[in-house]
Structure 1
Amino acid sequence: MRQFDIAIVGAGLAGSLAALALADSGRAVALIAPPARAADGRTTALMDQSIAFLKALGLWDEIARHAAALEAMQILDGTSRLLRAPPVAFRSSEVGLDAFGYNIPNAPFLEVLDARIAAQDNIVRLENGVTAANAFETGVELVLDDGERVMAALVVGADGKASRIRDSAGIGVRSWAYPQSALVLNFSHERPHGNVSTEFHTESGPFTQVPLPGRRSSLVWVLPPKEAARLRELPAADLSRAVEERMQSMLGKVAVEGEAQSFPLSGMTAHRFGKGRFVLVGEAAHAFPPIGAQGLNLSLRDIMALKEIVLGSEMAHAGIGERFDRRRQVDIRSRTMSVDLLNRSLLSDFLPVQFLRSAGLHLLSALGPLRSIVMREGIEPLGSLKAFRETLRERVARKQA
């Protein structure tokens, strides 16, 4: 039976990044997942904190050539309701950054991670599924679908919403569904995007254009499921016209690239994020609609926290799961709640809810300091507090000079 310090189950973006981060800590890591992946045409927007993490892992130079900077984000009210909100623009320069982050296509992102994992001496890639995980006093035994058994001091579940590792650990979930699907596609356009992402708030959910390199962008269009299915089946020319009309021709003529994909929207949070020798990261722990570029950024904060705990722990210690759970509770639950409330506010026809959403965007549009706080919190939890502390230190240093 092969033994490892850490076994990571699931080799998507979260699992692959967890393997590289934890192997970087000097631990012997097994990354366990079948090799086949469905073609993924989606993109991922990573904020400044996440980009810094990729740089620390030595990955950014290879990924950067596929990425487009997000220098500004604007929210436009695309509803026809009585109470409409004003346009709100967030600019990275307002918080002292060249860019909030970068938008990266998932397919080349995964290729970079796969190549780096293959080159790592202390990561063993096992291309099998896991059929069972049995916890013992000294470790966790994983039973693979080819009959092999692997022992690890710590098991990281990065195996998605239907996580077998979560079930094996006896961790329940709270889950819910939305009457929405996300239509996902990439498109080229006549006019330059200027590294600006535009999010239209509509009655069915957000319509979010995010820059890609050149005169190209990715799109997440949240719609009723039947409408998403109808649009997905349209000829490319008709779908391109629908995208252009919804964008009010802001980027000129549009041409959809390849096939559109659609995904039903749902939410889920695990009752806890670690237990004994098990921890959960990514969508094994939390899932919510693709709003506000929070999904993988939250997963990377899972990985950052886990790496810190692993570096400060003996792998023989059986309480890593509980330490990780305590560390991640506030961030995960607060982000899940904020995304859920925003999404539901767009769907609601209740006038007081519409008033609150409109009033909130009015305040963001009018008050620079409030806008700065929101931007910093979107980039990094407690980012506004850290910025305030840094400003105080600079002022004290200037007075003492």
Structure 2
Amino acid sequence: MREFDVTIVGAGLCGSIAATMLGRSGRAVALVDPSRIYPDDFRVEKFDDDQMRVLRNTGLGEAVLAASTHDRSVSVSMLGRMAEKRISDQRGFDYGALVNLLRREIPPSVAQIHAKVTTIANGADRQRVTLSTGETVEARLVVLASGLNNGLREALGIERADLARCQSITFGFDMEPAAGASFPFRALTCYGEHPRQRIAYITLFPIGTRMRANLFVYRDLGDPWLSAFRAAPEATLAHAMPRLARWTGPFRIVGPVKMRPVDLYETRGYLKPGVVLVGDAFATACPAAGTGARKALVDVERLCNGHVARWLATPGMGVEKIATFYADPEKTASDRRSFALARDLKRRTLDESLVSWARRWAKLALLRLRWAKTAAADASSRLVAGAEQPLEAPAGSPGPRP
């Protein structure tokens, strides 16, 4: 039997970051996951500047920057009209490639065990983890970063409580101009043109040389629209967002169309000795609201930077220690914000009341006003900079007098 300070179950985004952070801090860490190479998976595909700030606190920000594509600027459309063009600092990537890159950052001191976890016997002092290989490892703390897998949670007496079944559905696909040229933007976000289409927005952003698109819709899994989109994505999207082609021109959807429905759930009875849950293992977030990756990153950063070292400094791993993580102010604020934004975006997207329409037009006017002010300020700065440049003397003329 091998013994560790911490055993991490799951080597996706959360588990790989946690293993790197704790391994670099000198802890004896085991990372358990059945796959040697993380497979292609349709999950988060870009980080914004807020998420990158959290990543920098984990010590992995530079590695992610090197493996992602910077959009630099984004055009935003509302109600089928251009609302603004602004500087952007979002980073696009393939999720599977990103996780494999993060795995390469894990220190050699971390024991990477390629197996499934079959059981976890937890207690107030030591945790025993049994693997599919028959091996057993012991640790003072188990970090459950196993994502949507419900089996281990149920075995520990932790219940899943659904808050919203099929909260949203995300489609992911590559797009290219039908004429074979390039799109006239670095990145583009177009919000739904009418509530009846049940589209939150579509966002286009670069990953390497490809233009990636994520489409967020609010529909039930039995809705025929989903099958229609997968069968004829260009025609279905053009019908749902007829003004999209104003900004993209004629386009093609190339490669596979991936679909991911998301249920919003939280866990109950999660306060257990010796075991802590992070990311989707604790609670899901809606990708349309753009908070899923941040919520998971905050979980890992606060656990590894704010709690584990203190827990390991004294004997035992009872619930009084574990409870401090779930009560962490930054974590709880992140969880509340994630759920509130998911709920509010869906409500605003589907609301057809006159008040909601007035708010949409008011927001469009506000964005356009901000855009105009920014453009005027930029133009003024360029004029001032040009006026301050010294005039060059004609060739052969005497230089300036002393």
TM-score range, shorter chain: 0.7 to 0.9
Select 2:166's aligned residue among 178, 192, 197.
Answer: 178
1:6 aligned residue: 6
Q: Is 1:199 matched up with 2:190?
A: yes
Take 1:350 and 1:135, find their aligned partners in 2: how far apart are those partners? Answer: 52
- Assess if the C-alpha contact under 8 Å between 2:170 and 2:216 holds in 1: yes
Instruction: Flag the 1:73–1:338 CA change in 2: closer, same or farther, 3 A.
Output: farther
Alignment of 1:36-185 (within 5 A): 39-55=40-56, 57-58=59-60, 60-61=62-63, 64-69=66-71, 71-72=73-74, 74-77=76-79, 88-89=83-84, 91-92=86-87, 99-117=88-106, 120-175=107-162, 176-178=164-166, 180-185=168-173
Take 1:68 and 1:159, find their aligned partners in 2: how far apart are those partners? Answer: 29
Query: Helix, strand or coil: the match of 2:108?
Result: coil
Instruction: Flag the 1:76–1:275 CA change in 2: closer, same or farther, 3 A.
Output: farther
Select 2:255's aligned residue among 254, 258, 264.
Answer: 258
Take 2:260 and 2:269, find their aligned partners in 1: how far apart are those partners? Answer: 26
Take 2:123 and 2:272, find their aligned partners in 1: how far apart are those partners? Answer: 13
One-letter amino acid of the structure 2 residue matched with residue 227 of structure 1: W
Alignment of 1:215-294 (within 5 A): 216-222=211-217, 224=219, 225=221, 226-234=224-232, 245=242, 247-271=244-268, 275-294=272-291
1:34 aligned residue: 34
One-letter amino acid of the structure 2 residue matched with residue 184 of structure 1: G
Take 1:307 and 1:66, find their aligned partners in 2: how far apart are those partners? Answer: 24
One-letter amino acid of the structure 2 residue matched with residue 160 of structure 1: G
- Assess if the C-alpha contact under 8 Å between 2:67 and 2:98 holds in 1: no
Instruction: Flag the 1:62–1:87 CA change in 2: closer, same or farther, 3 A.
Output: closer
Select 1:347's aligned residue among 343, 346, 350.
Answer: 350
Measured after TM superposition, the shift of residue 109 of structure 1 is 0.9
Take 2:354 and 2:316, find their aligned partners in 1: how far apart are those partners? Answer: 53
Measured after TM superposition, the shift of residue 42 of structure 1 is 4.9
Measured after TM superposition, the shift of residue 295 of structure 1 is 1.0
Measured after TM superposition, the shift of residue 44 of structure 1 is 2.1
- Assess if the C-alpha contact under 8 Å between 1:30 and 1:126 holds in 2: yes
Take 1:360 and 1:171, find their aligned partners in 2: how far apart are those partners? Answer: 45
- Assess if the C-alpha contact under 8 Å between 1:47 and 1:297 holds in 2: no
Take 1:142 and 1:105, find their aligned partners in 2: how far apart are those partners? Answer: 31
- Assess if the C-alpha contact under 8 Å between 1:43 and 1:103 holds in 2: no
One-letter amino acid of the structure 2 residue matched with residue 112 of structure 1: L
2:18 aligned residue: 18
One-letter amino acid of the structure 1 residue matched with residue 327 of structure 2: R
Measured after TM superposition, the shift of residue 211 of structure 1 is 1.1
Instruction: Flag the 1:40–1:188 CA change in 2: closer, same or farther, 3 A.
Output: farther
Take 1:351 and 1:260, find their aligned partners in 2: how far apart are those partners? Answer: 35
Q: Deviations over 1:333-352 (max 9, x none)?
A: 22212212211321234555
Q: Root-mean-square deviation (CA), in Å? A: 3.4
TM-score (norm 2): 0.76
Query: Helix, strand or coil: the match of 2:202?
Result: strand
Instruction: Flag the 1:180–1:65 CA change in 2: closer, same or farther, 3 A.
Output: closer
- Assess if the C-alpha contact under 8 Å between 1:70 and 1:100 holds in 2: yes
Take 1:366 and 1:162, find their aligned partners in 2: how far apart are those partners? Answer: 45
Q: Which runs of 5+ in 2 are unaligned?
A: 371-402
Measured after TM superposition, the shift of residue 149 of structure 1 is 1.5
Q: Deviations over 1:8-57 (max 9, x none)?
A: 11122222222222222221221112217553255522122432454563
TM-score (norm 1): 0.76
Percent of pairs identical after alignment?
Answer: 22
- Assess if the C-alpha contact under 8 Å between 2:84 and 2:368 holds in 1: no
- Assess if the C-alpha contact under 8 Å between 1:76 and 1:199 holds in 2: yes
- Assess if the C-alpha contact under 8 Å between 2:124 and 2:316 holds in 1: no
- Assess if the C-alpha contact under 8 Å between 1:185 and 1:256 holds in 2: yes
Take 2:260 and 2:247, find their aligned partners in 1: how far apart are those partners? Answer: 26
One-letter amino acid of the structure 2 residue matched with residue 311 of structure 1: A
Instruction: Flag the 1:179–1:57 CA change in 2: closer, same or farther, 3 A.
Output: closer
Measured after TM superposition, the shift of residue 232 of structure 1 is 1.3
Q: Is 1:296 matched up with 2:293?
A: yes
Instruction: Flag the 1:11–1:215 CA change in 2: closer, same or farther, 3 A.
Output: closer
Q: Deviations over 1:79-138 (max 9, x none)?
A: xxxxxxx8654845xxxxxx4331222132122123333xx2222112222222111221
Measured after TM superposition, the shift of residue 166 of structure 1 is 3.2
Query: Helix, strand or coil: the match of 1:291?
Result: helix
- Assess if the C-alpha contact under 8 Å between 2:267 and 2:283 holds in 1: yes
1:336 aligned residue: 339
Query: Helix, strand or coil: the match of 2:148?
Result: coil
Q: Which runs of 5+ in 1 are unaligned?
A: 79-85, 93-98, 369-401
Query: Which of these two proteins has the greater Rg computed from alpha carbons?
Result: 2
Take 2:149 and 2:184, find their aligned partners in 1: how far apart are those partners? Answer: 37
Measured after TM superposition, the shift of residue 288 of structure 1 is 2.8
